Amino acid sequence: MAETPASLARKIEKWAGAGFDYTTVIVLKAALEPDRRESAGRIHSRSGNLAKSVRVIEPTLPGVVRRGGVISSGLSAGSRSKSNPINYAGIIQNGGRVKPHAIRATGHRLAFPGIKGEVVIPEVNHPGATIRAQNYLQVKEPRLGPALDAGYQDSINREIA
């Protein structure tokens, strides 16, 4: 979603009031965009929801002040929203173990094909599983330097013109 000129102006003013150039944030986000697209492309899933959730983390002014003026960003994925939770992003990225647990039918039926037709059951016991890390979120740091340099140069050229 594109920012409105008014919201962008407010951010620039807010960051300038704290002594920081918001252009750095804009350039950093733009430099991470190719990594975001590549990371989303590395995810293999049926629904595509995890790939759609990959995003560039926007630096916050309080975070920059806490880190002594260091503006940092990165990639993130997943969602904690109640309407469309994608709470498995971490285990896909880092790997891990799913403990044995019961899966209960809530709103839908747990149905399986049986010898004499469909078998409907109220719950099933999941045996647990080991998930290997996929490391789909990757930032290519050698690419960041030239992208940041080019972004700063464009910003300088606009200021001079």
Q: How far apart are CA 157 and CA 161, in angstroms?
A: 6
CB burial of 5-23 (b: ≥16 within 10 Å; e: otherwise) equals eeeeeebbeebeeeebebb
Mean per-residue pLDDT, 100-127: 89
Q: What is the pLDDT of residue 24?
A: 85
Q: Residue type at 107?
A: G
- Greater confidence, 148 or 4? 4
Q: How far apart are CA 144 and CA 67, in angstroms?
A: 20
Cα three-residue angle 117-122-123, rounded to 5 degrees: 105
Mean per-residue pLDDT, 5-22: 90
**If we measure between CA atoms, which residue out of 161, 155, 150 comes closest to residue 34?**
150
Domain boundaries, the chain: 5-46+56-73+137-160, 97-130
Q: Which helix (H) or strand (E) holds 66?
A: helix 61-66
- Name the band, by pLDDT with cuts 50, 70 and 90, for residue 49: very high
Predicted TM-score (pTM) above 0.85: no
Q: What is the pLDDT of residue 105?
A: 86
Let me know: does 138 contact 39? Beta carbons within 8 Å.
Answer: yes
On average, the pLDDT of the chain sits at: 87
pLDDT in tens, 66-83: 888 888 888 999 988 888
Res. 57: pLDDT tops 60: yes
β-strand partners of 98? 129
- Name the band, by pLDDT with cuts 50, 70 and 90, for residue 46: confident
